[in-house]
Amino acid sequence: MKKILLLAVIMLGLGVAVAALFPRQSANTALMTQVPDLALQSSYLFDNPRPLAPFTLHDQLGNEFGNQQLLGKWSLLFVGFTSCPDVCPTTLNKLNAAYAELQSVSEDIQVVFVSVDPDRDTQTKRLDYINFFNRDFKAVTADHTQLFPFTRDLGFAYAMVGDGADYQVDHSASYVLVSPKGEKFAVFKPKQQPGKIPQILNKELVADLKLIIESA
């Protein structure tokens, strides 16, 4: 079953993820024309911000999390799973450390951890996991029929690797910023560092977010 999921995700998600995670920065687009001097360090603006397709997930409290929950605030989304040995806990620790600064940029900002391992990441497990890092963060998921199109729409990819109960999940390590209009607006990409896990530096995240929001 895991091998089937692996093939499905690669076929359905990889092409979209490559295009979406490296959006063009053409000065001919309306968005870039409005802000030609935006000196972003680790992020890229999407050429044509557009609303996400309708989706329905649920958060760690069992509440529905859909398009409506993205409106009226800036949302920083990323994918992972609670059994992740490195990228996910590192990401959540870093975002928790940066949260006060992110809120100083915009009070209406939410951090959304999207679990792409719904079989193991139950509501209770997601609640305990996200509360360990920050109780204000969201931890959402759904079955794969909802997750596949939702993550592809954001430009993420993920794949189950291995068989049995101890399988791992390979997944994108970027963040996607969604605007208060529910539009996919920008992507933050981790930087490769020799001997270290690729990371998005907090100082660059905060600086870029400030520029993006002020110029939106």
Q: Which residue has the tokens 């409106």?
A: 71
Q: What are phi and psi of 8, to 5 degrees?
A: -65, -45
**Residues β-bridged to residue 75:** 110, 178
pLDDT of residue 37: 56
Q: What is the pLDDT of residues 36-71, one digit of tens each?
A: 457 899 999 998 899 999 999 999 999 999 999 999
Please state, rounded to an integer, the average pLDDT across all residues of the chain. Answer: 85
pLDDT at 72 over 70: yes
CA distance 39 to 113: 27
Q: Return the pLDDT at 45.
A: 95
**Which percentage of the chain shows pLDDT scores above 90?**
74
Residue 190 main-chain phi, psi, to 5 deg: -70, 150
Q: Go through the domains of the chain in sequence order and give each one's CATH number.
A: 2-215 (3.40.30.10)
pLDDT at 122: 98
Residue 141, CA distances (Å) to 9, 55, 75 in order:
16, 11, 16
- For β-strands 191-193 and 74-80, DSSP reports them as unpaired
Mean pLDDT value across residues 126-144: 98
pLDDT tens-place string over residues 184-212: 999 999 987 777 777 899 999 999 999 99
Q: What is the pLDDT of residue 15?
A: 40
